Amino acid sequence: MLVKKEVSFLHGNILTKEMLNETYVYPRDFVELKYCDYSDGIIAGLDFVENDGTTYLTKGIVKFKGEYYFLLEDINLTSYFLEMHKQQNWSTKLYYLYLKSSTPIKVDSIIVQNLDLYVSEECKQDDLFLLCRFYGGKDNMELPQLNGNEEKEPFKKLTDDNLYVNMIDTLYAMPGKATYHPFLFKAVAEYLEQKPNKSILDNVILMQIQNMKVLSIDAMKTYINAVGCDDEKATNRKELFDSFIKCLKKEEEQKTFLEKNKENEHLKSRRHNGPKGMLL
């Protein structure tokens, strides 16, 4: 049986334990039903944005070890970066920004457990949730951008340049297996929008990102195999994303080759079918 409940808070009435319990259980059940089959990762928000030279982490929801944590206000990462840089005197090397679970605190029968920002030089710590990798030698956490002017490596700043924030290993929750952060797929969409003579597969990928912000890992592998690349060689998230990007560029190169070949065939046809001289 399906059920819908409403709690009425009338002026002068006494709040009962059952009324308060319903205000807690109902929204919690909604979140659990909607995302129970999702992997750990970012459920919504927690995007990296830059405004007037300041980098922010937007409010959102994270699923971590099966529990849901809510960030209700944007975090000024630039201020955090500058303060931590002074305290810890970061050197010119790579650091990892995590969310770390705090010790639960009980206040008036309410148990509060936070995920706090935490910086470490070590990567892949299972008891922490990774937000990004960054370079400690700058005065800000600089976000990467697609370099459309660089034909050979337009995604280099997003995947391989250590001077910029890197989100390759940031988990975004999906049914089954976590995918990549929407920040990366936004760059993919930008690349495809600029790509001339897009194929049917290109348009399918672009529409999926425009509708859902992300692609599932399975969808990426299907695209890779359809284009003719081999995704079995990818042993980690970085290699899989590189393979996906390689296929985007490979298909464009194939398209260019086919267009040139078609032009050559057309020229040959014109020469063969053109007017012939008259023998006298």
Which residues neighbour 135 within 8 Å (Cβ) at sequence distance 6 or greater? Answer: 92, 93, 94, 95, 142, 162, 163, 164
Q: Report how far Cα 76 is from the mean position of its chain's Cα atoms.
A: 19
Residue 248 near residue 151, CB atoms below 8 Å: no
Which residues neighbour 174 within 8 Å (Cβ) at sequence distance 6 or greater? Answer: 38, 39, 41, 214, 216, 217
Task: Please report whether residue 231 resides in a domain.
Answer: yes
Task: Please report whether residue 186 resides in a domain.
Answer: yes
Angle, helices 237-273/217-227, rounded to nearest 10 degrees? 30
β-strands 48-51, 41-45 pairing:
unpaired
Task: Please report whether residue 158 resides in a domain.
Answer: no
Task: State the Cα–Cα distance between residues 181 and 12, nearest whole angstrom.
Answer: 48
Average pLDDT value for the chain: 82
Task: State the Cα–Cα distance between residues 238 and 254, nearest whole angstrom.
Answer: 24
**Which of 102, 49, 46, 48 has the alpha carbon at shortest distance from 71?**
46
Task: Please report whether residue 174 resides in a domain.
Answer: no
pLDDT of residue 26: 57
3-state secondary structure at position 120: strand
Task: Please report whether residue 218 resides in a domain.
Answer: yes
Task: Please report whether residue 148 resides in a domain.
Answer: no
Task: Please report whether residue 3 resides in a domain.
Answer: no
Task: State the Cα–Cα distance between residues 229 and 246, nearest whole angstrom.
Answer: 9
pLDDT in tens, 157-183: 999 999 999 999 999 999 999 999 999
pLDDT of residue 141: 86
Residue 242 near residue 235, CB atoms below 8 Å: no
pLDDT of residue 100: 93
- What is the number of domains present in the chain? 1
Which residues span the domain enclosing 191? 179-271
pLDDT in tens, 219-266: 999 999 888 776 667 889 999 999 999 988 875 555 444 454 555 565
pLDDT of residue 16: 59
- Beta pairing partners, 27: none
Beta strands in the chain (DSSP E): 41-45, 48-51, 54-57, 60-64, 67-71, 75-76, 94-101, 105-107, 110-112, 115-120, 128-135
Q: Give 162-216 as a DSSP string.
A: TTS-B-TT--B--BSS-B--HHHHHHHHHHHHH-SS--HHHHHHHHHHHHHSS--
**What Cα–Cα distance (Å) separates residue 248 from each residue in 36, 49, 117?**
33, 25, 35
**Which of 71, 41, 70 has the alpha carbon at shortest distance from 58?**
71
Task: Please report whether residue 280 resides in a domain.
Answer: no
- Tens of pLDDT along the chain (280 residues) come to 544 445 555 566 665 556 556 555 556 677 888 899 999 999 999 999 999 989 999 999 999 999 999 998 999 999 998 888 888 877 778 999 999 988 888 766 677 888 999 999 888 778 899 999 999 877 788 999 998 666 678 999 999 999 999 999 999 999 999 999 999 999 999 999 998 888 899 999 999 999 999 999 999 999 998 887 766 678 899 999 999 999 888 755 554 444 545 555 655 565 555 555 444 4
